[in-house]
Amino acid sequence: MIKPIASTVPSATHEAADDSIPAPAPPLRILVVDDDELVRLFVNRVLSEAGYQTTIAVDGTDAIAAAARSGFDLLLTDVVMPHMDGPQLAARLRQDNPGLRVLYLTGHSDSLFAKRVTLCEGEAFLEKPCTIVGLVQAVSLAITGSVGRTV
């Protein structure tokens, strides 16, 4: 006679035996804005593979529309873009979300600091070109304050 083996996994109808195990956190949401298609594709792929939920925008107007549809944990934006630069976009989005964190991904850090000496609280920058690991670490640091995600 075959005896069933007792399951150690709690069933859906019973409470979990260990309430100290936290539920997995939802993926962090990042709005990626860059006028360069290759940069957008690179950033989207790297961050998606690192477990982030990304939304892509081609410019400031597109980003404002995306932000109106959904909230974000981080704005990752280029600095120099046509019509609206990254700092202008960040200021506009912070009107509706004052605590929005911003990571500037730029090959023009001199443009970022041309009109101001320092970044605002909740802002950081990463120089282009960057490595995959550097991007993931910068995003993690910008969102959580620590380098917790790796590829």
Helix H or strand E segment including 109 = helix 109-112
Residue 23 lies in a domain: no
Q: What angle do CA 33, 136, 78 make, to 5 degrees?
A: 25
Residue 89 lies in a domain: yes
Residue 9 lies in a domain: no
Residue 1 lies in a domain: no
Helix H or strand E segment including 125 = strand 123-127
Q: Is residue 17 scored above 60 in pLDDT?
A: no
pLDDT of residue 114: 64
Residue 7 lies in a domain: no
pLDDT of residue 5: 39
> Which two three-digit tokens encode residue 92?
């506009």
Which of 88-92, 94-98, 110-114 bottoms out in mean pLDDT, i.e. has the lowest?
Answer: 110-114
Q: Is residue 100 scored above 90 in pLDDT?
A: yes
What is the model's pTM? Answer: 0.77
Residue 25 pLDDT grade (very low, low, confident, very high; cuts 50, 70, 90): low
CB-based burial, 25-37: b 16+ in 10 Å, e otherwise: eeebebbbbbbee
What is the domain count for the chain?
Answer: 1
Q: What is the DSSP letter of 79?
A: S
